[in-house]
Amino acid sequence: MSCLTPLSVLLFLLLIQFTHGAAKCGESRTPGRRIVGGRKALPGEFPWQVALRMHGMVFCGGAIISPTEVVTAAHCVRGMRARRLNVVAGTLKRTEPLDDTAQERRVKQIIAHEGFLGRGNMSNDIAVLKLNDSFDFEGSNGFVGPVCLPEEDYKAEALLTVSGYGTLYAGGPQARELRTVAVPVIPDSKCSRLYKDAFVSLGEPNPFDADAMFCAIEEGGGKDSCQGDSGGPAVQRQGGLSQLVGVVSWGVGCGHSRYPGVYTKVSRYVPWIKNHTSTGQR
């Protein structure tokens, strides 16, 4: 029977610490100082960002939460066949040829929230994608990694950082490279009032659900998420680590001050996410 020497024990513990640290959630190689009025993302700035692709075309975004699991919006994937979907991480480029750091994985299962209805009711707009193979976090040199899940009582405030491959303006072309923008979160009461005024005048119910959503928009408009950014991550840093506080969900147009971008409130769905995944985040 062999025994470990004090030195071998120390080396073993250091190896565990290094391995765990390499896959720590919310870490970015270049923490930055729906995307309208933003800028190009930096290499490795959003290692959790993925592009959802079907037949080689990017149609939505998502966020890595474990080596084999991605969070996205239910409206992006509900009713789709998993085997037709791929997710790509570790690249700034939207189209081929992708960056050398890119990793592409096939989707094996789609789990859309059972309470999502769509068609005017966007509550519960969240889904989990399970992948056929694991992302290689430790071999990615920091270009691919998970984002942290927030605490269940986390409330998004102040500036929100959104990233995506969507259009640069409403009805415009998709961005060629990953872009990012910082937009301020606005009070639920203000967002509810803005959408109530717009929809009730048309004889429609107010679509904003403060329990399941929150809003963000720059005062005066201009900076916002846009078409093609749906399902992508909206993060805030806490304790130096990025937390997935929102998922790009819906809006009216892009960058319009009267119609803020609306995001799924991830903190409300943390129990649901954990119930359908094996994130192992600590």
Q: Which of 123, 125, 163, 249 is catalytic?
A: 125
- Cα 43 to Cα 28, 29, 179, 195, distances in angstroms: 10, 8, 11, 36
Q: How far apart are CA 190 and CA 12, in angstroms?
A: 54
Q: 14 phi and psi, to 5 degrees?
A: -65, -40
CA distance 74 to 232: 11
Sign (positive/negative) of CA torsion 104, 109, 115, 116?
A: positive
H-only helix segments in the chain: 6-22, 74-77, 188-200, 266-275
The identity of residue 189, as a single letter, is S
Neighbours of 223 (CB within 10 A): 22
Is 28 considered catalytic here?
no
| Catalytic status, residue 276 | no
C-alpha distances out from residue 280 to 4, 25, 155, 200, 232, Å:
28, 10, 22, 44, 21
* Segment holding 131, helix H or strand E: strand 127-131
Structure tokens at 180: 């990012």
Which of the following is catalytic: 28, 140, 225, 230?
A: 230
Answer yes or no: 188 catalytic.
Answer: no
Separation of alpha carbons 227 and 175, rounded Å: 10
Residues annotated catalytic, as ranges: 75, 125, 230
